[in-house]
Amino acid sequence: MKFGGTSVGSPPAIRQVLEIITKTRPDWPQMVVVSSAIYGLTDALLESARQAAAGNLEPFQKTLAAIKERHADLLAALVSNPDERQQVWAELLTLINGYANLVQAIAVLGEATPRALDAVVGLGERLIVRVIAAGLQARRIPARAIDATGLIVSDSHFQAAVPLMPETFIKAQALLETVFQAGEVAVVTGFIAANQQGIPTTLGRGGSDYSAAILAVALNAVEVWIWTDVDGVMSADPRLEPEARTISELSYREVAELAYFGAKVLHPRTIQPVVEAGITLRVLNTFHPHHKGTLISERMLDPENGAVIKAVTAIRGVQLITVAGRGMLGVPGVAARILGAVASTGATVPLITEASSEQSLCFAIPSEASTAVLAALNESLAGEIERGNIDCISASEDVVIVTAVCPQMRHKLGVAGKIFSALGDSAINVLAIAHGSSDVSISLVVSQADLQTTIKALHALAS
């Protein structure tokens, strides 16, 4: 079971977490609990280190005070025995003082390297697992707080490390087997790992889901339960569509599309380990634990109640880059050079479409990468521009990629037609389309101003 930051952010929330663990344990005696840091703490830790490197220690001092206050409050609310509470608080203070020393060293050096940042930002997870374990022990449930630096072995790509699965399997199985034999609940830090030299790394933002999936595969778990603050995977963002509802069952492929195209319930990389191992995944609500949530497995089902699609989601903050020119027609390697130039900037490309005449190529990138991408394209294609083979390289205003998900869409008559009819009836102009690379989704680009209308029009096809 993995609990997100909102699930552990206050005494009532953690009490709910402890209640869920307590009620689940009789049916699942071999249980691993993975936790994120308190909501917002990882961002505060990262900012404190970066500001310290720039010579500003004020954010660090505020964060340090907030960390002590919030975790002391949590511990006081969950552990009534003074001696037990003092013992855990001493552990927390040791970790907090280590963070303080590290940030002060960053301030002296005037540099926050990726390695140093990884050592800083994992503090929140290290603190909260000790609080959760202490809360369980106060309920007379044996529990052990474990840093994932002793379980998950990764490469040395700091801030976005990749797990080394064979080494992780050996470490995780050896340590957690002793925990299970002792009849304890393993309470493990999400997000963090360590390289082969034992130096702390992190798995990238949202990596606690990834941690849970990695450990599930290593332990040959039956299921992974992701506890969050919504009733499972929704048919749309409820902030954009009030009629959004929980989808009872999704396939791995459908969830992968939703995660990639903007749904925030699951971290996209979470899907990969559980898909390969065939492990069932559930998304549940910590604050509404009796709700069935969403079941995610290999099975792909048609939409319920005769609906046209299952869900609709969106990526905001993107721009369309268009490279056009009559001289591109039939010239081998132009598309490769264009995308190679984009890759040199490190920008991601969530959508690509090309004219059948090969005279233009259009793709989406994050808006913040636009300036760098345009510069790289103009440099890489300078010869073609000078010879007149490329007429223009341009960027749109901010747009939105909206994706509709439906199983076997490519093989179903009328689905695409109904989607475009719904958009036409709502007077929505579609700027670009990507369809065919996935048989479970179709992606459309619309103006930012049309986002809510587009979501509402498409969501009507999901009910």
Same domain, 33 and 141: yes
Predicted confidence at residue 51, as pLDDT, reads 97
Token readout for 294 is 């969403």
Q: Could you tell me the two tokens for 399?
A: 């747009």
At 262, is the pLDDT very low, low, confident or very high (cuts 50, 70, 90)?
A: low
Say if residue 239's pLDDT is above 90.
Answer: no
Same-domain check for residues 53 and 196: yes
CATH code of the domain covering residue 360: 3.30.2130.10
* Boundary (domain end) residue, out of 206, 221, 236: 221
**112 assigned to some structural domain:** yes
User: Per-residue pLDDT averaged across 417-439, rounded?
Assistant: 89
Instruction: Give the model confidence (pLDDT) of 223-236 as tens digits.
Output: 999 999 889 999 99
- Tell me whether residue 263 is in a domain: no
Residues 112, 457: Cα–Cα separation, whole Å: 47
Q: What residues make up the domain containing 177? A: 2-221
Q: Classify the C-alpha dihedral 132-134-139-144 as positive or negative.
A: positive
Kindly write down the DSSP assignment for every residue of 245-304, as one continuous string: -B-SEEEHHHHHHHHHTT--SS-GGGHHHHHHHT-EEEEEETTSTTS--EEEES---PPG
Q: What is the pLDDT of residues 40-91, one digit of tens each?
A: 999 999 999 999 999 999 999 999 999 999 999 999 999 999 999 999 999 9
A 10 A CB-CB count for 229 gives 16
Task: Look at residue 425 and tell me if it is in a domain.
Answer: yes
pTM of the prediction? 0.86
Residue 143's contacts (CB-CB under 8 Å, 6 or more residues apart) are 132, 133, 136, 137, 184, 185, 186, 187
Is residue 212 a part of any domain in this protein? Answer: yes
Measured at the CA of 354, the angle between CA 424 and CA 251, to 5 degrees, comes to 70
- 326 shares its domain with 421: yes
Q: Tell whether the model's pLDDT for residue 410 goes beyond 80.
A: no
State the CATH number of the domain containing residue 177: 3.40.1160.10
pLDDT of 325 over the 90 cut: no
Strands (E), 418-459: 432-435, 441-447
- Residue 241 inside a domain? The answer is no
